[in-house]
Amino acid sequence: MNKSISLSANVSDREAISELINVWAYHRDRGNWEQLRDTFWPDGTISLSWFDGPFEQFVNSSREMAEKGSQAKHIVSQPFVKVNGNRAVSEANFILLARSSNGPLEIDLTTYARFYDLLEKREGSWRIFKRTAIYESDRMDPVQPSLMFWIVCMFTNFKKYPKACRFLGFALEKAGYELAQNIIEDNSKELDLLYKNGDDWLSG
């Protein structure tokens, strides 16, 4: 590890970053779109299951998704943070809870993943510069006992979706959203490259 990278030297920086990560989830789930915009720098980007691009566009798309009735909640852990001057890398576990409808069938989705963030401190404030979601596993359950649920499971090819988020992928597709092309799964070569690029960026 680069000796210039501090894990604990500046506690206030780490606390500010930790608060920022949790504030993002709060404003995203509550639909506080203007406050959500303030968690990223204007040139920031985000890459996750259904979106890969500028954060400003992500906020607008999230608003549209919410207006269509999408229900989602992000439960985010305390992040692990590495700081090097005005740059930082943060990684936090999160659980995505979402409810989806497929005709008369309602399903609850649970997705286990991590947020890998590159952050910058500009003019004394920390904001996220780039966020990438890392997917671990997921599941879906019927909201109510339903024969239709088992029929859907029997006749759906879930293997066409990324293994780490196949049920989320199924629900997104049914809702009219295309999966991003560069989804990062845990324990993959793509994840190794993500970490390497993050370490190189942090080192400056």
Give the start-to-end residue ranges of the domains of the chain: 11-203
Q: What are phi and psi of 70, to 5 degrees?
A: -65, 135
Q: Rounded to the nearest 5°, which phi and psi values hold at 21?
A: -60, -40
Q: Considering the entire predicted model, what is its pTM?
A: 0.92
Q: Which candidate, 139, 118, 119, 138, places its Cα nearest to that of 185? A: 138
Phi, psi for residue 166 in degrees, rounded to 5: -70, -35
For the stretch 133-148, pLDDT in tens is 999 999 999 999 989 9
The answer to whether residue 183 scores a pLDDT higher than 80 is yes
The average pLDDT across 100-119 equals 93
Radius of gyration over every alpha carbon of the chain, rounded to an integer in angstroms: 18
Q: Is the distance from CB of 59 to CB of 39 less than 8 angstroms?
A: no
Give the tens place of pLDDT for each residue, 50-64: 999 999 999 999 999
Q: Report the C-alpha gap between 105 and 128 in whole angstroms.
A: 37
- What phi and psi values does residue 104 have, to the nearest 5 degrees? -80, -10
At residue 6, does pLDDT exceed 70? no
Say whether domain 11-203 belongs to CATH 3.30.70.260.
no
State the pLDDT confidence band at 7, using cuts at 50, 70 and 90. Answer: very low
Amino acid at the residue 108: D
Q: What percent of the chain has pLDDT over 70?
A: 95
* Cα distance from N-terminal residue to C-terminal residue, the chain: 13
Looking at residue 71, its pLDDT comes to: 86
Distance between CA atoms of residues 149 and 181, nearest Å: 28
pLDDT of amino acid 10: 66
Q: What is the DSSP string of 88-111?
A: EEEEEEEEEEEEEEETTEEEEEEE
Which of 68-72, 142-146, 171-175, 189-193 shows the lowest per-residue confidence on average (mean pLDDT)? 68-72
At residue 104, the pLDDT reads 83
